[in-house]
Amino acid sequence: MKVRKDLNEIMNHLKVAESFKENIVHWQTIEEKEASTDELPLDIHPALKEALQKRGITRLYTHQKSAYEEAIQGKSIVAVTPTASGKTLCYNLPVLQTIINDANSRALYMFPTKALAQDQKSEINEIIEEAGLPINSYTYDGDTPSNIRQKVRKAGHVVITNPDMLHSAILPHHTKWVSLFENLKYVVIDELHIYRGVFGSHVANVIRRLQRICRFYGSNPTFICTSATIANPLELAESLTEKRISLIDNNGAPSGRKHFVFYNPPIVNHPLNIRRSATLEVRKLASELLKNKVQTIVFARSRVRVEILVTYLQELIKHKLGPKAIRGYRGGYLPTERREIEKGLRSGEIFGVVSTNALELGVDIGQLQVCIMTGYPGTIASAWQQAGRAGRRHSESLVIMVASSSPLDQFIIQNPDYFFKRSPETARINPDNLIILIDHMKCAAYELPFKAGEQFGSFETEEVLEYLAEERVLYQNGDKYYWMNDSFPAHNISLRSASQENVVIIDQTDVANVKVIGEMDRFSAMTLLHEEAVYLHQGRQFQVELLDWEEKKAFVREVDVDYFTDANLAVQLKVLEQDKQQFISSGEIGYGDISITAMATIFKKIKFETHENIGSGPISLPEEELHTSAAWISLHKDIGQFNQERLEQGLIGTSHALKSIAPLFVMCDPQDIHVVPQVKAAHNEKPTIFFYDRYPGGVGLSEKIFDGFQLVLKEASDLVKKCQCAHGCPSCIGIDSSSQTAKADVLKVFETFMNGEIHVN
């Protein structure tokens, strides 16, 4: 019988074994880093000092010290703190010291999830207890029992909550929180980098409302933010809080030795340059590790992938470890299920977890040795966050990134320098997106009447207030605008999702015990919960029997089939108004407002293992409409002697390459920006490629594309040129191209687009 291998033996095995070594295209070892520390601040209270010493803290890391020194003086900061660098002291120390100095002081902590808030409550309470200080810290979220809520409001020095709770429970009831708002000294925003895109734009508006209420009660809190490594932490912190912020980035925490392996699955079809599926490769790698009981986290890009991998892995090792040793983790699971999994990981009962980026956040799941990414997570920041899940506590660890066939993945895996040397992504928000802004101005008006001429953060409110008065949502009396509606606006506004109504998933397998097993946003539901779709939940398969679109309910029943389903979305696009325009010699580029209608059309049944198509069916769901902003490029010239079909194929291929590169340049999640080619665009009848923001009203992504069009075109064109395939492959121009000229045609399209100076109109 074989002896179990440890991590080092497994790494050696990967380096020598035939089945692995030739797929490893890059092996980067990141050496350990020594700690850089400084003395404890002189002014901290002896009890606090003693409590720290009891926890083995006699000196502070340099960034903790800097954070303390700035924050205690009331200067707002953002501290850049990689995983496991002791970020909590950056805020706990100044906050506790301030409360010791003045027992009336209050602090509000905001974490992106409830789980993180729970973690942090235990952490701060341990220090408070050890120091024997009369300081109350409480979490305030949906789970807080009503009998202690009053106590939290009146007597909580530190109130730990999440942006959703702040938005829907605290701010609309601010009169119950007078002692908090009158004495609010600090607002702590942890995991700042999470607040980007649509969610970040919402949260920025919640913070505008928060500061508005603070002004009403006469307080002006200092902001302490902590962020993972992103390119623009300072800019993000300043646009979220609209305050002057100091950047603290002298990270002094040590880190363990880390092996970062780029793994490219073997090519299985040379002419088409098709590689073996990343999912199957991950299955192979993960089972090797799990067999040896090496605790491993596997990240997958989508919910479906998570479920497929859980199914695979549970099957493979169920005799060795038992079915509960490997679990899935993603949005859509109920909170209790998630808590149970987190606990199992910490205690070591669970060896493997397959997760979407839900576990990227700092939820405490203890020390895992290995992290495997199924495909490039989409952003450099996100990749480092996921990698940080392995060996957080200074031990040697292994990170394996398995590339998929997608152009972006292939681009990254073949350019390791790009990944290791380039600065990570910029996080962008657009708090002035009108859809988002108006929702929050309604909430703000509910909380306190608006005064004519009052600014909402940096936004001039006049026109919006007039609009809302005309729509009879607000009522103007003298120079004030009052809420004039019987609804509670915060209840209809969700910070997390574009579509405001979720579809509830109801399991009716057991007729006597029908139960809700999860929920899903409306847009995802169109392609994942249509009738006959196979919905996967914790590795169990459910077939959707009925999707009640009106009531937003999907009724499912457990099944056992050997396929999964994949649905198509048909998209139509119209330009409504052009805001910006530039002419180039071959055509024009534009930016403006568009309308898109999307309709789920058909779905395919795809067999497990072989991934072959074994059937299909129609989907009958109503169209969804989206108004947003877009950038586009149109050709005025003919391209060579292309006929209609070659032109169409060329544009599709070009779009495919652009879609992979665009997220890298605007630095967003790939789902947030879409690329659509049209042979004859409705507005100018020219061949056109559109880039549009996925969120109604846009969050500024396509505008960035408009500003950097030439660069995006060049990088995408290089990607296609450098690709090893002969006539185009899934990794560069997409899978639909079968013609011999496809790749050359795409390059020709690029050339025509790029060939031309810009004439500013």
Partner 1 sequence: MSIKKKLNRLKSHLSHEVSTKSVLTTCQSIESEIPFIEVWENEGVTPYFFDGSYCLIRERRFPIDQQHGIYTFSQFSIAVNAWNESGMKHPLSAAGIKPESFVFFDTETTGLGGGVGNSIFILGHARLSGDEIHLKQHILPSPGAEVPLYQSFLESADYTTMATYNGKSFDWPQVKTQHTLIREHVPKLPSFGHFDLYHASRRMWKHKLERMKLSIVEKEVLGIERKDDLPGFLAPMIYFDFVERKDPQGMLGILKHNEIDILSLISLYTHLSFQILGLDQKQTAKEMYEIGRWFSHVGEAEGAKESFSRLANTTNSETAAAKHALAFEYKKEKKWMDALHIWEDVVDQGNEDVIRLEACIEIAKIYEHREKNLQKAIHFTRNAEAISQKLQSVNNRKLTISHQEIMKRLERLNKRLYRSF
Chain residues binding partner 1 by CB under 8 A are 172-176, 178, 434-435, 438-439, 442, 445-449, 463-464, 466-467, 469-473, 475-478, 480, 482-489, 492-493, 500, 576-577, 579, 593, 625, 627, 696-697
**Rounded least distance, CB 40 to partner 1, Å:** 41
Phi and psi at 506, nearest 5°, equal: -115, 125
Alpha-carbon distance of 377 to 381, in angstroms, equals: 9
**Rounded least distance, CB 491 to partner 1, Å:** 9
DSSP character at residue 272: T
Q: Which is nearer to partner 1, 560 or 577 (CB)?
A: 577
Is the backbone of residue 76 left (phi > 0), alpha (psi -120 to 50) or beta?
A: beta
What the block records as the tokens of 237 is: 């912190």
Q: Which is nearer to partner 1, 439 or 507 (CB)?
A: 439
Residue owning tokens 């492959």: 729
Residue owning tokens 């100095």: 101
**Rounded least distance, CB 486 to partner 1, Å:** 4
Q: Which is nearer to partner 1, 12 or 477 (CB)?
A: 477
**Rounded least distance, CB 472 to partner 1, Å:** 5
Phi and psi at 255, nearest 5°, equal: -140, 155
What the block records as the tokens of 586 is: 């071959």
**Rounded least distance, CB 109 to partner 1, Å:** 23
**Rounded least distance, CB 697 to partner 1, Å:** 6
**Rounded least distance, CB 626 to partner 1, Å:** 8
Q: Which residues lie across from 570 on neighbouring strands?
A: 599
**Rounded least distance, CB 460 to partner 1, Å:** 9
**Residue 35 burial by Cβ neighbours in a 10 Å radius (0-12, 13-18, 19+):** middle
Alpha-carbon distance of 730 to 737, in angstroms, equals: 9
Length of the chain: 761
DSSP string, 49-95: HHHHHHTT-SEEEHHHHHHHHHHHTT--EEEE--TTS-HHHHHHHHH
Q: Which is nearer to partner 1, 319 or 472 (CB)?
A: 472
Q: Which is nearer to partner 1, 337 or 466 (CB)?
A: 466
Q: What share of the chain is helix, strand, coil (3-state, %, to 5)?
A: 40, 25, 35
Q: Which is nearer to partner 1, 67 or 444 (CB)?
A: 444
Q: Which is nearer to partner 1, 332 or 700 (CB)?
A: 700
**Residue 417 burial by Cβ neighbours in a 10 Å radius (0-12, 13-18, 19+):** exposed
**Rounded least distance, CB 199 to partner 1, Å:** 17
Q: Which is nearer to partner 1, 15 or 491 (CB)?
A: 491
What the block records as the tokens of 700 is: 């500024």
Q: Which is nearer to partner 1, 38 or 593 (CB)?
A: 593
Indicate the pairing of strand 222-227 with strand 246-248.
unpaired
Q: Which is nearer to partner 1, 125 or 595 (CB)?
A: 595
Neighbours of 390 (CB within 10 A): 27
**Rounded least distance, CB 586 to partner 1, Å:** 27
Amino acid letter, 94: P
Q: Which is nearer to partner 1, 265 or 489 (CB)?
A: 489
Neighbours of 494 (CB within 10 A): 19
Q: Which is nearer to partner 1, 59 or 176 (CB)?
A: 176
**Rounded least distance, CB 663 to partner 1, Å:** 24
Give how far Cα 360 sits from Cα of 60, 418, 666, 668, Å. 26, 22, 21, 16
Q: Which residues lie closer than 8 Å to 707 by C-beta, 6 or more apart? A: none
Amino acid letter, 562: D
**Rounded least distance, CB 478 to partner 1, Å:** 6
**Rounded least distance, CB 696 to partner 1, Å:** 4
Measured CA angle at 535 (ends 534, 537), to 5 deg: 140
Q: Which residues lie closer than 8 Å to 454 by C-beta, 6 or more apart? A: 461
Q: Which is nearer to partner 1, 182 or 364 (CB)?
A: 182
**Rounded least distance, CB 761 to partner 1, Å:** 16
Of 524, 526, 573, 604, whose CA–CA distance to 675 is shortest? 573
Measured CA angle at 463 (ends 457, 465), to 5 deg: 75
**Rounded least distance, CB 173 to partner 1, Å:** 6
Alpha-carbon distance of 206 to 528, in angstroms, equals: 31
Q: Which is nearer to partner 1, 214 or 278 (CB)?
A: 214
Is the backbone of residue 600 left (phi > 0), alpha (psi -120 to 50) or beta?
A: beta
**Rounded least distance, CB 492 to partner 1, Å:** 6
What's the chain's Rg over C-alpha atoms?
A: 27
Amino acid letter, 367: Q
Q: Which is nearer to partner 1, 436 or 749 (CB)?
A: 436
Q: Which is nearer to partner 1, 342 or 447 (CB)?
A: 447
**Rounded least distance, CB 232 to partner 1, Å:** 27
Amino acid letter, 662: A
Alpha-carbon distance of 374 to 354, in angstroms, equals: 10
Q: Which is nearer to partner 1, 53 or 492 (CB)?
A: 492
What the block records as the tokens of 207 is: 């913070």
Of 69, 39, 426, whose CA–CA distance to 246 is shortest? 69
